[in-house]
Amino acid sequence: MSPTGSFKDRGSSLVINIAKKERVAEFVEDSSGNAGASLSAYAELQI
């Protein structure tokens, strides 16, 4: 099972890792569902 229970976790992990490599300080995700929950969880792990 994915860490957040979302099928979006794999993509979110990739997005966060690329953002970290590119030194992106912040970004915005317009989602009220799985994508938003997954991205926020992975972003929290990177802090």
Q: Rounded CA gap, 37 and 9, in Å?
A: 9
For the cut 90, the answer to whether the pLDDT of residue 6 exceeds it is no
Q: Does residue 3 sit within a domain?
A: no
What pLDDT was estimated at residue 46?
A: 78
Q: Does residue 29 sit within a domain?
A: yes
Q: Does residue 17 sit within a domain?
A: yes
User: 31 is in which domain, residue-wise?
Assistant: 9-45
Mean pLDDT in residue range 14-36: 90
Mean pLDDT in residue range 16-43: 90
- The total domain count for the chain is 1
Are 41 and 3 in contact by the 8 Å Cβ rule? The answer is: yes
Angle made by CA atoms 22, 4, 35, in degrees to the nearest 5: 55
Q: What is the mean pLDDT of the chain?
A: 88
What pLDDT was estimated at residue 47?
A: 63
Instruction: Provide the whole-model pTM.
Output: 0.77
Mean pLDDT in residue range 23-39: 89
Q: Does residue 2 sit within a domain?
A: no
Residue 19: HSE in the Cβ half-sphere, 13 Å Cα cutoff = 16
Tokens representing residue 35 in the block: 């994508």
Q: Does residue 1 sit within a domain?
A: no
Please identify which residue in the block is written with the tokens 């690329």.
Answer: 18
Q: Does residue 38 sit within a domain?
A: yes
